[in-house]
Amino acid sequence: MLTQIVRHPIPSEPEPGDCPGDVNPLLWRIYRSRGIDDARELERELGALIPPAQMAGLDAAVVELAAALEGGQRILVIGDFDADGATSCALAVLALRAFGHHEVDFLVPNRFEFGYGLTPEIVEVARARAPDLIVTVDNGVSSVAGVAAAKALGWRVVVTDHHLAGAVLPDADALVNPNLPDNPFPSKALAGVGVIFYVLVGLRSHLRAAGWFERKAIAVPNMAELLDLVALGTVADVVPLDRNNRILVHQGLLRIRSGRCRPGITALLQIAGRNPARAGSADMGFAVGPRLNAAGRIDDMSLGIDCLLSDDADEAHRLASELDRLNRERRSIEDQMKTQAETILGDWTPDDGELPWGLCLYREDWHQGVIGILASRIKERYHRPVIAFAAAGDGVLKGSARSISGLHIRDVLDEVAAREPGLLQKFGGHAMAAGLSIPQSGFDSFARLFDEVVRSHLCDDDLRAVIHSDGPVPEVELTLDTARAIHDGGPWGQGFSEPIFDDHFEVVSSRVVGKKHWKLVVRPVTGSQVLDAIAFNAVEVLPTVPGRVHAAYRLDQNEWQGRLSLQLRFEYLEEATP
């Protein structure tokens, strides 16, 4: 696979008076390169959030929830088995309890038995809880049959979701989703946890106006206390960090750094070796999120939700330790599956001498909960859309798809389904990821048709990975202060990318650490400063390090024995051409 570093140099030095006085000049130039030229767009106070009143469907949801609270009715929250679903579940339960309502519980479908969302099968499981009101979080917009089954039992249903809707909407008593075509809410990027947060903010306002908290003799809850969960779910779900999401994530991170967060989040950070006092988006996305997700991938997401709900630090640490164990198990399974996938690809003998552009992989013994990560890893290695399949029983294969920039994977599956009706039993997703089920007997036919459709949408250049760089950092700005300013200048994430720079370096020394990573000492070829660098998971791709490299890197703060130092985190490196 060829990788190309494409520079989009950050603007030159700002004119005198152009840069806000409290913003690092390099950081301000980075902001400008991301389309921000007014300091007011950097505002991260809660008062700058889009008001809940602009969310269509929210008032109807509030009416249903308020009636359930007034009547002391049983509320059952139906979540999803990923980090967004877990944080959404925990937030809903915690908020309703803080409102003085204790007839609230949650249920998360086991992905291996019931699949995703509010299905008729999950409604049957829920009958034992005898709910009066079902509230879905991070799912439900496609649960037409499940909502109908719940309504047939006399239950009311409030759907809160952020996924794209199908042609038919569920007949829920209230449906809140900023991505419905007729919803005027300006931010379409809210994660599921952001949607339920907005609903509960609206519910609090309604209850306060109705005198609920006075009658219950409880203090009006501060909803900001739940923003740690919003930050975690938003980052882990890799939704675009538009201005509204940046505010939510920033405020949540502030709470985490100050120690005012759920004990479970603190425990997960600590068990991952991260300092909660310096927690950033990357810690949520690469340390806490994967450990939380491991519960849903390997066992039962209820474990992750219990960790987030716990008010006891010791119990939270015990649950976080179990999540860490599951994550290590997940990594072991992933490594084995990746080795098997590489063997399949190494033995591939295609007629035209190249791998399919749309790549389908399957082994009967692959783990259903890990195929999504496997598809991501193979996509990163070969830079083409990948679907990894596992056996689901009864002659059915479940697949998890990951795409590359420029190819909407759900639309591709829609086209495959249209070309050969019946080949896909069900599918859903969005631009970069999707899930599907096919008959095991149809794997070869599906793989051929998938490749055909992918080829019709891509060209040769699309199969070349591109790293978008902000250019080199002037040597005078290669400092710990600059790294700190960038870290604090986020939150960074999808749609508001953390700066990646590139430059040519002389390699002073190199050694392998942790069997997979390169630990380096480098010097810019145009400078004299000697710098520490780390290239994670690079040994497999680059078994030896040449004397001069071209590298794409981030400025990082490395913490060792309580001391911070500047470190370049190499995202990609190759031998430098003369």
Report the relative pairing of strands 548-560 and 501-513 from DSSP bridges. antiparallel
Q: At what angle do helices 289-298 and 263-271 cross, to 10 degrees?
A: 90
Instruction: Decide if 423 contacts 441 (C-beta within 8 A).
Output: no
Structure tokens at 121: 């099968």
Contacts of 540 (CB under 8 A, 6+ apart): 516
Residues 537-550 have a mean pLDDT of: 91
- Looking at the chain, which residues constitute the CATH 2.40.50.460 domain(s)? 3-40+467-575
Question: Which fold does the domain 49-324 belong to in CATH?
Answer: inorganic pyrophosphatase (n-terminal core) (3.90.1640)
Tell me the C-alpha distance between 492 and 231, whole Å. 12
Instruction: Decide if 245 contacts 189 (C-beta within 8 A).
Output: yes
Instruction: Decide if 57 contacts 183 (C-beta within 8 A).
Output: yes
Residues 557-575 have a mean pLDDT of: 90
Q: For residue 303, what pLDDT band results from cuts at 50, 70 and 90?
A: very high
Please tell me the pTM assigned to this model: 0.90
pLDDT for 231 beyond 80 = yes
- Looking at the chain, which residues constitute the CATH 3.90.1640.30 domain(s)? 49-324
**What is the structure's pLDDT at 346?**
86
Q: At what angle do helices 313-346 and 289-298 cross, to 10 degrees?
A: 70
Report the relative pairing of strands 396-402 and 433-439 from DSSP bridges. antiparallel
**What is the structure's pLDDT at 12?**
64
444: how many CB neighbours lie within 10 A of its CB?
10
Check residue 349 and give left, alpha or beta (phi > 0: left; psi -120 to 50: alpha): beta
Residue with the two structure tokens 């799912």: 139
Query: For the domain with range 348-463, which CATH number is right: 2.60.120.260, 3.10.20.90, 3.10.310.30, 3.40.50.720?
Result: 3.10.310.30
Q: For residue 1, what pLDDT band results from cuts at 50, 70 and 90?
A: very low
Task: Provide the residue count of the chain.
Answer: 578
Instruction: Decide if 359 contacts 387 (C-beta within 8 A).
Output: yes
HSE-up of 254 (CA within 13 Å, CB side)? 14
pLDDT for 17 beyond 60 = no
**What is the structure's pLDDT at 428?**
78
Q: Give residue-wise pLDDT tens across range 22-49.
A: 788 888 889 988 888 787 888 899 999 9
Secondary structure letter of residue 50 according to DSSP: P
First CA to last CA across the chain, in angstroms? 21
Q: Give residue-wise pLDDT tens across range 338-375.
A: 999 999 998 887 665 688 999 999 999 999 999 999 99
Element (H, E) at 292: helix 289-298
**What is the structure's pLDDT at 18?**
64
CA R_g for the chain: 25
**What is the structure's pLDDT at 197?**
98
**What is the structure's pLDDT at 2?**
64
Q: Give residue-wise pLDDT tens across range 167-223.
A: 899 999 999 999 999 999 999 999 999 999 999 999 999 999 999 999 999 999 999
Contacts of 459 (CB under 8 A, 6+ apart): none
Residues 411-431 have a mean pLDDT of: 90
Q: How far is CA 97 from CA 161, 264, 512, in A?
A: 21, 18, 50
- Looking at the chain, which residues constitute the CATH 3.10.310.30 domain(s)? 348-463
What is the chain's mean pLDDT, rounded?
92
Strand partners for 393: 396
Strand partners for 535: 518
Residues 396-405 have a mean pLDDT of: 94
- Fill in the amino acid letter for 484: R
Tell me the C-alpha distance between 311 and 320, whole Å. 13
Residues 532-547 have a mean pLDDT of: 91
Q: For residue 434, what pLDDT band results from cuts at 50, 70 and 90?
A: confident
Measuring CA to CA, which residue among 7, 1, 6 is closest to residue 466? Answer: 6
For domain 3-40+467-575, the CATH architecture is Beta Barrel (2.40)
Residues 534-538 have a mean pLDDT of: 93
Does the N-terminal peptide bond of residue 52 adopt cis geometry, omega within 30 degrees of 0? Answer: no
Strand partners for 6: 468
Residues 116-123 have a mean pLDDT of: 89
